[in-house]
């Protein structure tokens, strides 16, 4: 896992080179081990963008055929500092549960 702040928000790079099956496996693990419920699923031509609530903030689990799997705040460049910190805390939970 790599934490990036290059676009004005905190992004967790989960897997840089990933297949669709890797995304599905990771999403299933989030549901099973962390009781994550996806509230919206957008399937695009070359990517998937699934949102979920974590600590009262909306987070995006994203898959792109070129960029892999990532997690970032829903509000993107208009994100608050607390949303960025929430993503960092989520990274700690992923590490604790050995999901990354």
Could you tell me which residues come within 8 angstroms of residue 48 by beta carbon, excluding any fewer than 6 positions away? Answer: 20, 23, 41, 42, 61, 62, 63
In this structure, are strands 11-15 and 38-43 parallel, antiparallel, or unpaired? Answer: unpaired
Phi and psi at residue 53, to the nearest 5°: -95, 130
Assess whether pLDDT exceeds 90 at residue 5. no
Q: What is the pLDDT of residue 8?
A: 84
> Which CATH architecture group holds 2-96?
2-Layer Sandwich (3.30)
Range 2-16 average pLDDT: 90
pLDDT in tens, 34-91: 999 999 999 998 899 999 999 999 999 999 999 999 999 998 878 999 999 999 999 9
Q: Confidence band (pLDDT; 50, 70, 90) for 6? A: confident
Range 16-20 average pLDDT: 94
Write down the pTM of the prediction. Answer: 0.92
């Amino acid at each position: 896992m790599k934490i990036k702040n290059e676009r004005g928000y905190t992004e967790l790079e989960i897997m840089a080179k990933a297949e669709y099956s890797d995304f599905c496996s990771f999403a299933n693990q989030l549901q099973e081990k962390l009781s994550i419920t996806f509230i919206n699923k957008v399937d695009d031509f070359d990517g998937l963008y699934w949102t979920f609530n974590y600590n009262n903030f909306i987070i995006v689990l994203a898959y792109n055929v070129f960029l892999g799997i990532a997690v970032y705040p829903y509000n993107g460049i208009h994100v608050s500092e607390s949303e960025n910190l929430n993503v960092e805390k989520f990274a700690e939970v992923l590490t604790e549960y050995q999901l990354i």
